[in-house]
């Protein structure tokens, strides 16, 4: 009842606080009342939040402790299980070790016998490989000698053709040089003759010019003397009149005269300069005309010479191009022959590599097959012939005869594989015998499964058995089961496991 007392006190206190709060709210304004209620609400929320935080921390601690205990218990359980499993595993490993030791001893014995047989095979294979290597090296040396002889022959042919072309080229170059020298000498002679002709013509023209100039000068002197005598009288008269007019004119035009004299001096100087330039231009024109004539005559001559030289040059270029094309064709032929030889050698190498790979595969297959051989096959790898001595003699006589048919000739090339085919046929016969035995066992297994199904149907009673043919239902001494049917689909009859029988063991069992 102490709890009730406390609860009563709380309710009493609460009612007192609520009564005091109501009396206090009655004395407050609306704004103070709202503030007071807000403060109460915040206090209650703070109290509730602290309580929730306390509860969450308490629960989180309990969860942490539970997790620690769970991990500890799990660790203890795992430790106990490890001990139990270690003991069980130790027992299993001891049994496995015993089994493996026995198996290992058997395997070691078998491997020792295999190693002895392999050592014998390796000795035989080494002998065969040495023979093959010697034959291969002889073939390679023969091919190298053939190739060296062929290369020497081709080199001699190439050097001979090169020497011939070089001699032809040197002779043609010497002929062209001689002809060029002769034509240059002819051109020099023509130039010397033209120069001598021009010099003679120039001397004749200069002589004729001087004679005409002297004649014209004498005639002018005579006419000038006659005119001088005739004009002296007029000149005197005119000189007197001129002096009078001059005096009057000088007095009237003294300043103009001074200007005129200055201009006259300038005019004379200009006239002299013009005359000098005109003479120079005339000389230059004459030189240009003579040079043009010489150039025209030389151009005609040189055009003819250049045309002839151009024709010769075109012929030489054409011949050079023909020689170049011939050399290019020879180079192409040599390159094609070299390419063909390279391709053939590459094909030969590829063929040899393919043969080598094929031989490696055959050797690997032989090694894999040798691992599966029985002891008898390892001791006697090639089975004895089943032919009688008379049949063997007939066969050897037939083999020594020359075959006539193509197929027989082709088969005669593979006489060395008779032992292999004999061994292969023996393995093929063993395979066919095992397949026949397997089919017979499968038929017997089907019959046994059918009998087992009928037996199970006879000893069990259900709707399916009653609806189907039942061996227990006998009418007039006859069962309604028509015959033995395979019951592979019946879940009560389990299929026989597939048993792999090693060929060696099978052969030993048969012989036993």
pLDDT 10s digits, 60-88:
888 888 888 888 888 888 888 888 888 88
For residues 374 and 113, give the distance between their C-alpha atoms in angstroms, rounded to a whole number: 11
Query: How distant, in Å, are the alpha carbons of 42, 166, 311, 348, 386 from that of 316?
Result: 122, 16, 9, 47, 87
What average pLDDT does the structure give for the chain?
77
State the Cα–Cα distance between residues 26 and 34, nearest whole angstrom. Answer: 12
Of 48, 284, 40, 331, which is closest to residue 165 (Cα–Cα)? 331
- The pLDDT tens digits of the residues spanning 15-66 come to 444 444 455 666 777 888 888 888 888 888 888 888 888 888 888 888 888 8
Q: Give the pLDDT mean for 256-260.
A: 75
Q: Of residues 402 and 3, which shows the higher confidence score? A: 402
What are the Cα distances from residue 47, in Å, to 8, 20, 43?
A: 22, 21, 6
Query: What are the backbone angles phi and psi of residue 475, rounded to the nearest 5°?
Result: -125, 120
Kindly list the distances between the CA atom of residue 452 and the CA atoms of 277, 446, 495, in Å, as whole numbers in the listed order: 150, 10, 11
Nearest of 431, 406, 416, 448 to residue 501 by alpha carbon: 431
Average confidence (pLDDT) over 189-212: 81
Least confident of 60-69, 260-269, 475-484: 475-484
Q: What is the pLDDT of residue 382?
A: 66
Q: Is 317 a residue whose pLDDT tops 80?
A: yes
**For residue 222, which phi and psi values (nearest 5 degrees)?**
-65, -45
Of 150 and 464, more confident: 150
351 token code pair = 């063929």
Residue 1 in this model has a pLDDT that exceeds 60: no
Residue with tokens 């150039």: 295
Cα–Cα distance between 471 and 479 in angstroms, integer?
A: 5
Is pLDDT at 470 greater than 60 in this prediction? no
pLDDT tens figures, 345-403: 889 889 899 989 988 888 888 788 777 777 777 766 666 666 677 777 776 776 666 66
Instruction: Give tens-digit pLDDT for 486-497.
Output: 444 444 444 444
Q: How confident is the model at residue 442 (pLDDT cuts 50, 70, 90)?
A: very high
Q: What is the model's pLDDT at position 432?
A: 92
Model confidence pTM above 0.75: no
Is the pLDDT confidence value at 165 over 50?
A: yes
- Banded pLDDT at 438 (limits 50, 70, 90): very high
Average pLDDT over residues 402-416: 68
Q: Coil, strand or helix: which one is 480?
A: coil
What pLDDT does 504 receive?
39
Residues near 312 by beta carbon (within 8 Å), at least 6 away in sequence:
176, 179
Residue 449: count of CB within 10 angstroms of its CB: 20
Q: Distance (Å, rounded) from C-alpha 319 to C-alpha 165? A: 12
Burial class (CB in 10 A: 0-12, 13-18, 19+), 312: middle
C-alpha 441/C-alpha 449 separation (Å) is 12
All residues at 6 or more sequence positions from 294 whose CB lies less than 8 Å from its CB, including other chains: 194, 198
Secondary structure of 419-436 in HEC code, one letter for each residue: HHHHHHHHHHHHHHHHHH
Q: Is the pLDDT of residue 435 over 90?
A: yes
Q: 102-116, 222-236, 498-512: which has the highest mean pLDDT?
A: 102-116
Q: What is the mean pLDDT of residues 430-447?
A: 91
Determine the average pLDDT of the residues in 129-139.
86
pLDDT at 159 (0 to 100):
87
């Amino acid at each position: 009842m102490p709890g009730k007392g406390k609860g009563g006190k709380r309710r009493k206190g609460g009612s007192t606080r609520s009564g005091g709060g109501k009396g206090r709210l009655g004395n407050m304004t609306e704004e103070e009342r709202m503030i007071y209620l807000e403060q109460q609400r915040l206090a209650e929320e703070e109290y509730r939040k602290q309580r929730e935080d306390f509860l969450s921390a308490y629960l989180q601690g309990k969860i942490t402790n539970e997790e620690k205990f769970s991990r500890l218990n799990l660790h203890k359980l795992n430790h106990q299980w490890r001990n139990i499993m270690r003991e069980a595993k130790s027992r299993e490993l001891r049994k496995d070790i015993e089994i493996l030791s026995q198996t290992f001893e058997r395997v070691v014995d078998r491997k020792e016998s295999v190693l002895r047989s392999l050592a014998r095979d390796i000795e035989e294979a080494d002998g065969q490989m040495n023979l093959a290597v010697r034959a291969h090296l002889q073939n390679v040396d023969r091919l190298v000698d053939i190739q060296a002889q062929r290369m020497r022959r081709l080199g001699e042919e190439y050097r001979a053709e090169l020497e011939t072309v070089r001699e032809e080229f040197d002779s043609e170059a010497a002929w062209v040089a001689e002809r060029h020298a002769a034509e240059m000498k002819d051109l020099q002679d023509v130039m010397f003759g033209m120069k001598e002709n021009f010099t003679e013509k120039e001397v004749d023209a200069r002589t004729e010019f001087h004679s005409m100039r002297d004649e014209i000068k004498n005639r002018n002197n005579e006419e000038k003397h006659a005119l001088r005598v005739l004009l002296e009288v007029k000149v005197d008269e005119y000189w007197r009149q001129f002096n009078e007019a001059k005096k009057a004119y000088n007095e009237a035009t003294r300043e103009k005269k001074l200007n005129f004299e200055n201009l006259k001096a300038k005019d004379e100087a200009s006239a002299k300069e013009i005359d000098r330039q005109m003479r120079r231009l005339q000389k230059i024109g004459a030189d240009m005309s003579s040079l043009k004539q010489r150039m025209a005559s030389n151009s005609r001559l040189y055009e003819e010479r250049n045309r002839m030289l151009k024709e010769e040059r075109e012929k030489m270029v054409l011949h050079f191009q023909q020689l170049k094309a011939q050399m290019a064709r020879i180079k192409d032929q040599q390159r094609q022959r070299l390419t063909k030889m390279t391709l053939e050698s590459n094909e030969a190498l590829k063929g040899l590599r393919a043969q080598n790979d094929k031989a490696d595969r055959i050797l690997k297959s032989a090694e894999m097959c040798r691992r599966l051989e029985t002891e008898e096959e390892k001791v006697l790898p090639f089975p004895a012939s089943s032919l009688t001595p008379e049949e063997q003699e007939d066969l050897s006589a037939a083999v020594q005869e020359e075959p006539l048919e193509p197929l027989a000739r082709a088969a005669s090339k593979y006489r060395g594989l008779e032992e292999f085919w004999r061994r292969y046929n023996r393995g093929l016969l063993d395979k066919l015998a095992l397949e026949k035995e397997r089919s017979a066992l499968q038929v017997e297994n089907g019959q046994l499964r059918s009998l087992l199904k009928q037996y199970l149907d006879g000893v069990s009673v259900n709707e399916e058995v009653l609806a189907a043919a039942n061996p227990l239902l006998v009418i007039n001494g006859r069962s309604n089961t028509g015959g033995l049917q395979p019951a592979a689909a019946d879940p009560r009859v389990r299929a026989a496991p597939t048993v792999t029988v090693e060929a060696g063991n099978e052969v030993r069992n048969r012989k036993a």
